[in-house]
Amino acid sequence: MMRLRTLTALAGALTLCLTGCARGGSAGSSSHTVTYWLWDSNQQPAYQACAKDFEQQNPGLHVKITQLGWDDYWTKLTASFIAGTEPDVFTDHIQKFGQFADLKVLEPLDDLGIDESAYQPGLAANWMGQDGHRYGAPKDWDTVALFYNKKMTDAAGLTATQLNDLAWNPENGGSFEKAIAHLTVDRNGKRGDEPGFDKHHVKVYGLATNGGGDGDGQTQWSTFTASAGWSYTDKKRWGTKYRYDSPAFQSAVKWYFGLAKKGYMAPFTDYNSQSNQANTQVAAGKAATAFDGAWMISTYAGFKGLDMRTAVTPEGPTGKRATMMNGLADSITKNARNKAGARKWVKYLSSGECQKTVGGYGIVFPATPDGTAAAVAAYKKKGIDVTAFTEPVADKKDFTTFSYPITNYAADVYALMHPAMQDIFGNGRSVTSLDETNDQINLILSQ
């Protein structure tokens, strides 16, 4: 319960700040300036282009963009709320939305006239609070697919058609596990499915690792748990009970982490959130494939000397393929110094005009269909096929898309699930230990 007390203390500090913190000390506090924070350096040029056009349409207003790395971004953003130096507008993540809703640091955006039908399905609805107010304007979206090194898959005799037609199950892993095993090669040249394979001395793993996956498993186990019919909570949004104690969830996770025990997936020790993620394992030739998000398309495409391709996620026991469909948004802070300017900027950011501009850079998929189409065209010009990411959004018959879990006490859920999943993957703790963790989480949610 330590994190609950910590969150309560933080909420108290923020409440005091929201009613009386000094407003000085933040760059760009002029009423003519709108301060805007984002974390992705690859996207900054696109938003600088939007800012330039916005300023031309709104003489006298200036947008000051600050870009920070992912980890620094959230640390400094939380600190800025306490210090009273928060930006007017920031790029928000649905994973953090529950925490910010708890802390009441977001400004309602009901007056922006956001039309949910103007965006890809589900993106706008996710940003509605329990109080019925909107707190985020749709920005972009992403899905997960299987990146693969074509030279390695060719050498293994696996075609693009085969890789796009894989299926899995928690009993024997199905054709997906067979493919990953065949792509694995030990130091003696033996493949994972050949007699004499040495799982203790692997040269190339069939599948890279992205760690334990915390409580969401976006680029780890979520595609498997969802295609097994499992969902995070009892409700689609603002659930009141988590379901990490579900047999369907635990059997899928046990099988997934079991790939590492068999030597087919890189072990937990090969992962470092700062320096050695799945993409770096693939780039170094230590893994043949990796599950990763659409925001990493340009990174994988940029690997020198590697012909990287993508395949859709494998079909699960439900007969469907599944991928998390995450959607970012732009939010205005409760104590924004320039709320009028911030509202104009966020409305522009969510417009088809800006989203088509962003799409033209071929870095992310903007939230509007036209913005998405612009991005697909831009990727195509670069010679990048993004079908594996867009098909799940268009094909509701064969694919299931789902969101991050949206609940209260999001920070506490992370604080409990992060070490729990690390223990299971890294230390071999039983998946049934999640029963107790789940009880702890649901106790917090019942407060």
Is 395 a member of any domain? no
Pair (237, 353) in one structural domain? no
CATH code at position 348:
3.40.190.10
* Least confident range of 27-41, 265-279, 358-372: 27-41
- Distances 225 to 104, 126, 215, 268, 328 between C-alpha atoms, Å: 32, 21, 12, 19, 23
User: Is 405's pLDDT higher than 80?
Assistant: yes
What is the model's pTM? Answer: 0.92
Q: Which two tokens stand for residue 275?
A: 């320096």
Widest CA span in the chain = 72
Q: What is the DSSP string of 79-91?
A: HHHHHT---SEEE
What does 209-248 look like in DSSP terms, one character per residue?
-----TTT-TTTTHHHHHHTT--SBSSSSS-S-B-TT-HH
Q: Are residues 417 and 315 both part of a single domain?
A: yes
pLDDT band for position 30 (cuts 50, 70, 90): low
Per-residue b or e along 358-385, where b marks 16 or more CB atoms closer than 10 Å to that residue's CB? bbbbbbbbbbbeebbebbbebbeeeebe
Residue 421 predicted with pLDDT over 50: yes
393 lies in some domain: no
Please, what is the average pLDDT of the chain? 93
Distance CA 93, CA 170 (A): 31
Instruction: Provide the residue type at 161 as one letter.
Output: T
53 and 25, same domain (yes or no): yes
Q: 123 and 151: one domain? A: no
Q: Does residue 214 form part of some domain?
A: yes
In a domain, 234, yes or no: yes
What's the pLDDT tens digit per position in 352-361? 999 999 999 9
Q: How far apart are CA 178 and CA 191, in angstroms?
A: 11
Q: How far is CA 53 from CA 57, 62, 245, 327, in A?
A: 6, 11, 50, 24
Classify each residue of 289-326 as buried b or exposed e, where b means 16 or more C-beta atoms within 10 Å of its C-beta. bbbbbbbbbbbbbebeebebbbbbbbbbbeebbbbbbb
pLDDT of residue 273: 81
Domain annotation covers residue 367: yes
Instruction: Note the pLDDT tens digit of each residue in 65-106.
Output: 999 999 899 999 999 999 999 999 999 999 999 889 888 999
- DSSP structural state of residue 131: T
Closest to 122 (Cα-Cα) out of 109, 141, 100: 141
Is residue 348 assigned to a domain?
yes
Q: Are residues 366 and 237 in the same domain?
A: no
Handedness of CA 20, 24, 27, 33 (dihedral sign): positive
The answer to the question of residue 399 being in a domain is: no
At 216-262, the pLDDT tens digits run: 999 999 999 999 999 999 999 999 999 999 999 999 999 999 999 99
Q: Phi and psi for 331 in degrees, rounded to 5?
A: -120, 150
- Residue length of the chain: 447
Lowest-pLDDT range of 4-18, 262-276, 426-440? 4-18
User: What does DSSP say about strands 308-311 and 33-38: parallel, antiparallel, or unpaired?
Assistant: unpaired
State the total domains in the chain: 2
Do 219 and 295 have their domain in common? yes
Q: Which of 337-351, 356-370, 394-408 has the lowest mean pLDDT?
A: 394-408
256 lies in the same domain as 151: yes
Residue 403 within a domain: no
pLDDT at 275: 82
| Separation of alpha carbons 405 and 349, rounded Å | 25
Task: Find the helix packing angle between 44-57 and 352-359, rounded to 10°.
Answer: 150
Name the β-bridge partners of 290: 147
CA pair distance 382, 150, nearest whole angstrom: 18
Q: What is the extent of the structural domain holding 84?
A: 2-141+327-385
Q: Are residues 215 and 136 in the same domain?
A: no
Please tell me whether residues 121 and 62 are part of one structural domain. yes
If asked whether residues 419 and 306 sit together in one domain, one would say yes
What separation in angstroms does the CA of 351 have from each of 39, 115, 140, 377, 378? 21, 10, 12, 19, 19
Separation of alpha carbons 345 and 192, rounded Å: 54
Question: In the prediction, which pLDDT does 102 show?
Answer: 81
CB 9 within 8 A of CB 82: no
238 with 300, same domain: the answer is yes
Q: What is the pLDDT of residues 180-216, one digit of tens each?
A: 999 999 999 999 999 999 999 999 999 999 999 999 9
With beta carbons less than 8 A apart as the criterion, state whether 331 and 242 touch. Answer: no
In the chain, % helix, strand, coil (3-state, to 5) comes to 45, 15, 40
Residue 19: CB partners within 8 Å, gap ≥ 6? none
Q: Are residues 198 and 90 in the same domain?
A: no
| pLDDT tens digits for range 118-176 | 999 999 999 999 999 999 999 999 999 999 999 999 999 999 999 999 999 999 999 99
C-alpha span between 186 and 194 (Å, rounded): 10
The reported pLDDT for the residue numbered 24 is 40
Which of 385, 401, 425 terminates a domain? The answer is 385
